[in-house]
Structure 1
Amino acid sequence: MTSSKQILLINDICGYGKVALSAMIPVLTNMGYHIYNLPTALVSNTLEYGKFRIQDTTDYMRDSIKVWEELGFRFDAISTGLITSTAQADLLIDFCGREAQKGVLIFVDPIMADNGSLYNGMSMETVANMKRLLAVAHCCVPNYTEAVYLTDSEYKDDLTREEVFALVDRLRDLGSRSVVITSCHVEGSEAVAGYSAEQDEYFLLPYVSVPVFLPGTGDIFLSILMGRLLQGMYLKAAVSDAMISVKKMVIRNKDNDDKFKGIRIEACLDVLQ
């Protein structure tokens, strides 16, 4: 399948490991989209190795956006991921806000936390910046920990349906029209919860996880979700498809010798067909 739709991915690029742009570009290219990228940082390797080098690219981003606007480049959708500073957040809030007014769909993945705590190098300043970015989002896709930080909510090991949908609504109050929260634990089951503005529909999709950690699965999930939405799927169906596809990829890679590299995405693209 081919598409004339153009997607801009704004996220970090990892030199050693299939995460962020290195994972997203192959997925969406395989789905037939024209893909462009704006790196927020150059990262030497996935952070799980414990030692890494991160190069901020804010000046490059600012200059690139200026050149693109002078050249009249246009996109149908934009996704944002890792943000390294308030200056970078200001730049993206302005850029994405102006693009949203032109009808461009804005997807925000507020990468900053998991398992109840912030990632190394993240701070409450990061949280505040992500909150501001949600104001221009067509759809935000935090994990449960990120949703808690964004809404100043209490972290709980298990939620009721009412509690998880109340959390969804608090994210909507920050400005995001649609919401998808991954890695929830609801009434004894792992689940993805969400709300579709287009269908005015809340949904809760339980799943059974594969007991292995592979970095980059969230990036792949967002890529598939975004791709399916742009193909015309409703949000709930797109989330379900992304969940099934990512699980198949995780199963294929669960016995990898070096799991810190993430999923060998190029060898798994047949899952998308």
Structure 2
Amino acid sequence: MRKKQILLINDMAGYGKVATAAMLPILSYLGHPVYNLPTALVSNTLDYGKFEILETTDYIKEVFPVWKELGFRYDSIATGFIASERQAKLISAYCREQAELGTMIFVDPIMGDEGKLYNGVTPATINSMREMISVADLCFPNYTESCYLTDTPFNEKGVSEEEAKTLLGKLRGIGAKSVLITSIPIDGQPSVIGYNHKEDSYFNLPYTEIPVHFPGTGDIFSAILIGHLLDDESLIDSTQKAMDGIYQLIDLNKDNEDKNRGIPLERYLNIL
């Protein structure tokens, strides 16, 4: 079976296993040819509190015409951190153009967690992510990001299953076809809830939370999820495999001294 090619449009950290640095080894290990377009070069994971970011919008603007002239095509595109509204417009237009040619678009609207936005994320970022979701075959925000994207109040105690389904509906209203919401407490249970547009069906997958924090776990989840979807596995099975994989990786590394650098993935790819 021919493995499907994927383009990662995400930031690249110099120090730490997050974003492209986390996703590329996983997708490569799963056998998919991986290409990348950095949205920003970041000195280190933001968890250290001090960092430097170089936005690459001018570079991206010049890349797309070159790729078009050379006839480069991808089976799928996965987007992550978007550095500005201008960048979002460029990338979403490219994704929309490629989607019309049959490319699958995956969008992880990276903005925040635990009810708060990440360092450096602004209201303009939220508009940028709405722009990206509008072209998505599948988007997978966490609960915090879902609330910001849909102007829904964040409740740290969580939601009912019906409220979670309403949130899925609001995200679909922005334009996404299928939607997952990760890290959402449903009736007191940490869960991933999803809507599969191909089957017009909902699913709710509970999980056990390990109380430690690593940056990049969302990127790892995305990579495992997408890797299995590209092998034509179902959305619910791919989601469960991503949940199981991230649980194992966190459990194996929960005693690491410096968690800010993320999970040292290369040592554990075999568990995927």
Which secondary structure does the structure 2 equivalent of 1:232 belong to? coil
- Equivalent residue, structure 2, for 1:35: 34
Query: Is contact 2:42–2:51 with CA below 8 Å preserved after alignment?
Result: yes
More displaced 10-residue stretch of structure 1: 49-58 or 118-127: 118-127
CA distance in 2, matches of 1:60, 1:265: 29
CA distance in 2, matches of 1:81, 1:230: 17
- Equivalent residue, structure 2, for 1:136: 135
- Equivalent residue, structure 1, for 2:119: 120
**Would you say how many aligned residue pairs link Structure 1 and Structure 2?**
271
CA distance in 2, matches of 1:242, 1:8: 19
CA distance in 1, matches of 2:102, 2:71: 15
Query: Is contact 1:85–1:126 with CA below 8 Å preserved after alignment?
Result: yes
CA distance in 2, matches of 1:265, 1:194: 27
**Aligned letter for 2:268?**
C
Shift of 1:3: 3.9
- Equivalent residue, structure 1, for 2:214: 214
Which secondary structure does the structure 2 equivalent of 1:149 belong to? helix
Give a deviation string over 1:20-51, Cα, whole Å, max 9, x none: 00000000000000000000000000011111
Task: Give identity over the alignment, percent.
Answer: 50
Structure 2 portions without partners, runs of 5+: none
- Equivalent residue, structure 1, for 2:106: 107
- Equivalent residue, structure 2, for 1:199: 199
Give a deviation string over 1:44-81, Cα, whole Å, max 9, x none: 00011111110011111111111111100010000111
- Equivalent residue, structure 2, for 1:145: 144
**Aligned letter for 1:266?**
E
CA distance in 2, matches of 1:120, 1:158: 23
Normalised to the residue count of structure 2, the TM-score between the two structures is 0.98
- Equivalent residue, structure 1, for 2:259: 259
**Aligned letter for 2:142?**
N
Which secondary structure does the structure 1 equivalent of 2:38 belong to? strand
**Aligned letter for 2:26?**
V
- Equivalent residue, structure 2, for 1:71: 70
Shift of 1:150: 0.6
Query: Is contact 2:3–2:231 with CA below 8 Å preserved after alignment?
Result: no
> Does residue 176 of the first structure (1) align with residue 176 of the second (2)?
yes
CA distance in 2, matches of 1:5, 1:51: 37
Which secondary structure does the structure 1 equivalent of 2:77 belong to? strand
Structure 1 portions without partners, runs of 5+: none
- Equivalent residue, structure 1, for 2:226: 226
- Equivalent residue, structure 2, for 1:237: 237
Displacement over 2 Å in runs of 4+: none
**Aligned letter for 1:162?**
E
> Does residue 12 of the first structure (1) align with residue 39 of the second (2)?
no
Query: Is contact 1:19–1:46 with CA below 8 Å preserved after alignment?
Result: yes
Query: Is contact 2:141–2:180 with CA below 8 Å preserved after alignment?
Result: yes
**Aligned letter for 2:96?**
G
Give a deviation string over 1:190-230, Cα, whole Å, max 9, x none: 00011011121101100011111011010010011111111
| CA RMSD across the alignment | 0.9
> Does residue 47 of the first structure (1) align with residue 46 of the second (2)?
yes
**Aligned letter for 2:263?**
I
Query: Is contact 1:3–1:32 with CA below 8 Å preserved after alignment?
Result: no
CA distance in 2, matches of 1:209, 1:154: 23
